Amino acid sequence: MAQIIDINDYKLLKELENNSDKIMQQREFFINFYGFLNRNLNNEFDEILMEFDDMFTDLILRHKINRLVVNYFHIPMVTFMVTVFIKNSDLAVHFPDLASIENNENQLMFKNTLMKIIQAYTEDEVVPYDSLELELDLNRVIKRFYVSLLTIIPQKIVLI
């Protein structure tokens, strides 16, 4: 199945990628690229994001951590989604820096980011959670998240 992408949208996103006020522009790039992909994939990115937001919320609650911590997961989730899409699609040749990140490395960075968020959020609280068990649960959810993302990547992407 081929996916058609408007080249004007693509050029705008590419320009954002090339500017260098690093952290803010990287965040903007990932958020804008997420929106771009979501539009072109008939909101499938939003559906996956909502599904995994719920899964992460359930996981956090199961470990007796305040569910509000999941609000801080959204930017890392979007970044992970965009990186997985680029790495595993025809767009990889246009984004060599992102494509150079191996899938396992991307999953590990995502899990480590979520663990750091949880640690920072629970630092001042007495929260009795088993960090090893939490990490294993995060790994399972991230693997499932990754597989869900792979299923929506078109076999061929045509830039017009």
The per-residue pLDDT for range 101-133, each reduced to its tens digit, is: 999 999 999 999 999 999 888 887 776 778 899
Is residue 138 within 8 Å of residue 114, measured between CB atoms?
yes
Q: Spell out the domain ranges in the chain.
A: 2-159
pTM: 0.81
Q: Which of 97, 87, 110 is nearest to 18 (CA)?
A: 97
Nearest-angstrom CA–CA distance, 98 and 96: 6
Alpha helices in the chain (DSSP H): 7-18, 22-40, 44-62, 74-87, 96-99, 103-122, 131-152
Q: What H or E segment, with its residue span, contains residue 156?
A: strand 156-159
pLDDT at 155 over 70: yes
pLDDT at 9 over 60: no
